[in-house]
Structures are given as structure tokens and as C-alpha cells.
């Protein structure tokens, strides 16, 4: 079958990647979607059961750091678009093992860029009609101050804009910042058709349960402590993962080359308030009397270099491409909690064995 487009999605077996793959495979039957993923601890093909038989989907197990393999896949499938999500993504792991983050996030991105440049340059049309879309994070901008609470801007008026100076603090955000710089350098130096987006914290189904929301839902259900770092006063801007996938789809098709777009939920929550909302929601959906799990909230040693506040100004994306988040947070959280409670087998399959050992070690010293 001849496909209209051949799109390589890296990291498609991860949390956000699986939503992007599912969306692209179902919405665009005339595109071939090639999911290229190493299947690290965070990659799980069970996330993609709904589309694994689709005629326009295929999976290739591979490492973005393997130049030969990436070039060979790009040639074999005549790839004309890359949506790059593969990464090491957890801040706490980056503090323990920064080298893996530099390897995958920096060298892996550079490898993909160079593979795309060489492969596309060798085609009859060159870079025409090609697109390399790099998915990044708001954490590259560093941290915002927390200001006195006010009704219009409860945690402060400053927001991350596309022009905000990069100022990463964790090995994770430093590695993502570096990868963003390489992407822009490939545009400016070689003319590679690139786009970068920087998104705020995502939540929703299929997120690996080392991140705050799925971890805490799992722990509440199993009556385990909820380790809140510091005093729980850090603020994050939460976006439902399907809204991020919709933004990626839109920007891949209509975003202007060489541009950066911020994506965010306009939805800031202090960690402790979010944890209380989670506890209340899980208790209600499990049929527990209100307050049953409050005692699980446990304040633990703060994360090193813990960024105080992230908040995104997504007005450029709204103004230029008409995107906005579709879900209210309370509705998104309700949907998310229900999903995890109804997919106990998914959580159990990845919370046993190796991961359980890692998790216990991680918290043994807190």
C-alpha cells in the first residue's frame, strides 16, 4: 500500500508517545506510523493494544543512539516526518544517573537529527515536504518565583514565554535544554525543517507510576504512604495528555517551521492541594468515607534542586493555531483516577519486580 506520509514517532511506547501514536494511527489511515522505541523500563507495548493490528501501524524496537539503525529505518520506510518523543523523562532518576540522560536525550537527539539530515538530503526533493518535530518540556526555562496569593494569579503573574531565557536546574532539564539547542542549531546551520514545543506537566492514562499522579493513586489504593517532597508547596501547571497529543497533531501539520510553541494547561496547582484532591477522589471512587486516606500523606526530604513553580503562557499557540485545552482539571483528574482504578492489571504488571526494587531503594533513604 502507498501511504500519503510516513511518520517516525520515537518513544511511541511511552506515556505521551502512546497517546500520539494512537491518535495519528486512527485519525490518519492514509499515513503510515512507525513507532521506534527501545522499550526501556518506561516503554510498554501494552499501551498500544488498540492499534497494534492496524494496517498503517508498525513497531520497530530500536535505540535512537544507534545511527546506522535509525538511518536504515528512515530509508526503509521513506520517512518524511519525525515526531521525536523518546527520552529519559524522570527528574529523580536524572539526579541518580545523569549520564543516561545525557546519552539518550542529548546524543540520541543529535543522532536522530544527523540521520534525518543525511537521509533527507539524499532524496530527490531534499528537505522539501519534510519535518522534524522535537517534543520538549517547560522545565528548560528553570523555575518561577512563588508570589503572594491573589485571586487573578494565585501563585504569581510571571509565566514562561517562548522567549524566556533557558535556565535548567536538574540533569533532566539540562539534557532537554541541550537537545533543544541542537535541534535549533540543525535548522540554523543546515536548514533542517524543525519545530520545537515546550509543554508543561502531563497527566492521564498510561503514565508510568513513578510520576506523582499515578504513583499516588496506586499508593492510596494500596494504603501506602504518599511521599510529598518538602512542604508540598511547589506548583506545577497540569495538562491532560490527550490535549497535548491534540496540540502535537495540530503543530505537526500547521506549525511554522523553525518556530517554538509553548503548550500548557493554564492550570496551576500546589502539590499539596493536588494530593488532597487525589486522596478525596480515590476515596470517593473506592467507596471509602471521606478522610479515610488523609493519614497517608507524609512529608519527606525535599528533592535536590526542586523547582518551585512552573507555569506556561500558551497564548501564541492559541492565537496562531487556535489550540486550547479541552478539559477542566477536576474532570481530567476524575477520568484519570477512574482509569487507573479500572486498569489495576496494567499498574500491577509494571509495579512488580524490577520497578518495585528500584522504588524501595529510592525511598529507603528519605
Grid coordinates of 307: 523547582
Rounded Cα distance between 45 and 167, Å, is: 35
Rounded Cα distance between 79 and 93, Å, is: 32
Which listed option, ligand NAD, ligand TYD, none, makes contact with residue 333 (CB within 5 to 8 Å by class)?
A: none
Which listed option, ligand NAD, ligand TYD, none, makes contact with residue 212 (CB within 5 to 8 Å by class)?
A: ligand TYD
Grid coordinates of 109: 537527539
Residue 31: active-site member: no
Grid coordinates of 330: 477536576
Per-residue contact string for residues 222-241; x = within reach of ligand TYD by CB under 6 A: -----xxx----x-x-----
Among the options 37, 63, 80, 138, which is catalytic? Answer: 138
Grid coordinates of 22: 494512537
CB 236 within 8 A of CB 296: no
Supply the minimum distance, in Å, between the C-beta of residue 39 and ligand NAD: 5
| Positions 287 through 306 that interact with ligand TYD (CB under 6 A) | 303
Taking the alpha carbons at both ends of the chain, their separation in whole angstroms is 55
33 near ligand NAD, judged by CB under 6 A: no
350 near ligand NAD, judged by CB under 6 A: no
CA-based nearest residue to 81, from 43, 22, 134, 45? 134
CB nearer ligand TYD, residue 12 or residue 227: 227
Burial 66-91 (b: 16+ CB within 10 A, else e): ebebbbebbeebebbbbbbbbbbbbb
* Three-state secondary-structure class, residue 130: coil
CB nearer ligand NAD, residue 62 or residue 191: 62
Task: Considering only the stretches 31-39, 107-115, 221-229, 333-341, report the one whose residues sit in contact with ligand TYD under the rule CB under 6 A.
Answer: 221-229
180 near ligand NAD, judged by CB under 6 A: no
Among 22, 32, 38, 309, binds ligand NAD (CB under 6 A): 38
177 near ligand TYD, judged by CB under 6 A: no
15 near ligand NAD, judged by CB under 6 A: yes
Rounded Cα distance between 137 and 290, Å, is: 36
Supply the minimum distance, in Å, between the C-beta of residue 289 and ligand NAD: 33
Supply the minimum distance, in Å, between the C-beta of residue 62 and ligand NAD: 6
Instruction: Give me the sheet containing 5-10, strands edge to edge.
Output: 57-61, 31-37, 5-10, 81-84, 131-137, 194-199, 260-263
CB 104 within 8 A of CB 111: no
Residues that bind ligand TYD (CB under 6 A): 91, 201, 211-212, 215, 227-229, 234, 236, 271, 303
Residues known to be catalytic: 138-139, 172
Residues in touch with ligand NAD (CB under 6 A) = 10-11, 13-17, 37-40, 42-43, 63-65, 85-87, 89, 104, 108, 135, 137, 176, 199, 201-202, 208
Amino acid at each position: 500500500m502507498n501511504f500519503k506520509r510516513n511518520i517516525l514517532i520515537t518513544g511511541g511506547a511511552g506515556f505521551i508517545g502512546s497517546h500520539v501514536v494512537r491518535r495519528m494511527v486512527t485519525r490518519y489511515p492514509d499515513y503510515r506510523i512507525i513507532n521506534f522505541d527501545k522499550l526501556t523500563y518506561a516503554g510498554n507495548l501494552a499501551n498500544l493494544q488498540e492499534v497494534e493490528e492496524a494496517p498503517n501501524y508498525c513497531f520497530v524496537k530500536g535505540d535512537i543512539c544507534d545511527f546506522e539503525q535509525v538511518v536504515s529505518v528512515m530509508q526503509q520506510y521513506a520517512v518524511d516526518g519525525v515526531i521525536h518523543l523518546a527520552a529519559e523523562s524522570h527528574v529523580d532518576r536524572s539526579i541518580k544517573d545523569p549520564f543516561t540522560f545525557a546519552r539518550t536525550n542529548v546524543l540520541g537527539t543529535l543522532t536522530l537529527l544527523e540521520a534525518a539530515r543525511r537521509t533527507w538530503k539524499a532524496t530527490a526533493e531534499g528537505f522539501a515536504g519534510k519535518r522534524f518535530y522535537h517534543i520538549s518540556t517547560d522545565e528548560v526555562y528553570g523555575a518561577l518565583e512563588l508570589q503572594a496569593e491573589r485571586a487573578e494569579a494565585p501563585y504569581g503573574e510571571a509565566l514562561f514565554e517562548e522567549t524566556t531565557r533557558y535556565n535548567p536546574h536538574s540533569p533532566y532539564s539540562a539534557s532537554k535544554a541541550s537537545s533543544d539547542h541542537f535541534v535549533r542549531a540543525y535548522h540554523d546551520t543546515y536548514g533542517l525543517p524543525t519545530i520545537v514545543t515546550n509543554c508543561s506537566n502531563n497527566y492521564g492514562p498510561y503514565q508510568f507510576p513513578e510520576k506523582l499522579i499515578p504513583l499516588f493513586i496506586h499508593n492510596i489504593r494500596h494504603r501506602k504512604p504518599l511521599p510529598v517532597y518538602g512542604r508540598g508547596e511547589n506548583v506545577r501547571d497540569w495538562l491532560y495528555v490527550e490535549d497535548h497529543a491534540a496540540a502535537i497533531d495540530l503543530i505537526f501539520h500547521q506549525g511554522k517551521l523553525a518556530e517554538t510553541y509553548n503548550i500548557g494547561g493554564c492550570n496551576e496547582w500546589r502539590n499539596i492541594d493536588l494530593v488532597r484532591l487525589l486522596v478525596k477522589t480515590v476515596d470517593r471512587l473506592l467507596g471509602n468515607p471521606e478522610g479515610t486516606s488523609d493519614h497517608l500523606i507524609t512529608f519527606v526530604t525535599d528533592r535536590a534542586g526542586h523547582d518551585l513553580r512552573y507555569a506556561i503562557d500558551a497564548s501564541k499557540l492559541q492565537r496562531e493555531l487556535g489550540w486550547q485545552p479541552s478539559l477542566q482539571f477536576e474532570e481530567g483528574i476524575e477520568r484519570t483516577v477512574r482509569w487507573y482504578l479500572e486498569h489495576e492489571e496494567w499498574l500491577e504488571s509494571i509495579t512488580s519486580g524490577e520497578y518495585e526494587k528500584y522504588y524501595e531503594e529510592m525511598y529507603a533513604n528519605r
